[in-house]
Amino acid sequence: MPITIQPLEEADIPTFVRIELEAFRPHPRIPMLWPRGYTDDLYAFYEDHKNESYNDSEQRLVKAVDDETGEIVAASEWTFVLDAEMEAKKVPSDPNEQPPPNWPKDGNWGLRTFFRIAWEEWRRKVFAGKPYIELNILVTNPAFQGRGAGRHLLSWGCEQADKLGLPMCLESTPAGLSLYARFGFEVITVIKADMKQFGWNKPYDEEGAKRFWMTREPQRSA
């Protein structure tokens, strides 16, 4: 399947959202985070968030397109933290912050906030005011898994980082570890939270729910 990497267009945002949600549907935390399932207000929340990213000068939204059909088969979102001084001035997220008005009904705000704040704190500690590139999300349409679309997107991001001489970071599920390792990412921290803290009392796949925080140093061509 020939693939072309292109900037994501604003009109592509609903497709990106649907690919992301379908890619993560099997994840063990999805029923905990969104107990009502994939509802209209959930899709709207994700689209609002993606629109904010699309209009943020630090963000890069990129798509992998099947050359034969023109279909978006994978998508990614990146943060290029190039102004370290401005990054250092950003106010950390408030752990007591309340959900925004468009937060989906019955969504597990405590669970989402816990991981978001922990991730922010870890990034500040690891990069200590230096510029870097973060891979926020990389997802492939489940119907096209294993055909190289995600690899093409990851390659694009690594090329940008290497050109700029910047380190990278990302958060991986267990399923993504082997791909990221092939591109030089190394696991720095493993996050495992007790879901009972967030009101979940049913059995779940604890190994599958782990998050792996990874970094990669810039690489130079021989």
Residue type, 7: P
**222 found inside a domain:** no
The answer to whether the beta carbons of residues 42 and 222 sit under 8 Å apart is no
Residue type, 181: A
- How many Cβ atoms sit within 10 Å of the Cβ of residue 3? 21
DSSP 204-217: --TTTT-EEEEEE-
Q: Residues 12-29: what's their mean pLDDT?
A: 96
**53 found inside a domain:** yes
Summarised one tens digit per residue, pLDDT across range 180-196 is 999 999 999 998 877 78
pLDDT beyond 70 at 221 = no
What is the helix, strand, coil percentage profile of the chain, to 5? 40, 20, 35
How does residue 1 score in pLDDT terms, banded at 50, 70 and 90?
low
More reliable by pLDDT, 3 or 89: 3
| Number of domains within the chain | 1
pLDDT at 84: 78
pLDDT at 202: 83
Q: Which domain holds residue 200?
A: 3-216
**32 found inside a domain:** yes
Sequence-ordered list of residues with C-beta below 8 angstroms from that of 58, at least 6 positions apart, any chain: 79, 80, 81, 82
Mean pLDDT across the chain? 93
CATH for 146: 3.40.630.30
pLDDT at 208: 80
Summarised one tens digit per residue, pLDDT across range 105-154 is 999 999 999 889 999 999 999 998 899 999 999 999 999 988 899 999 99
Best CA proximity match to 63, nearest among 7, 119, 14: 7
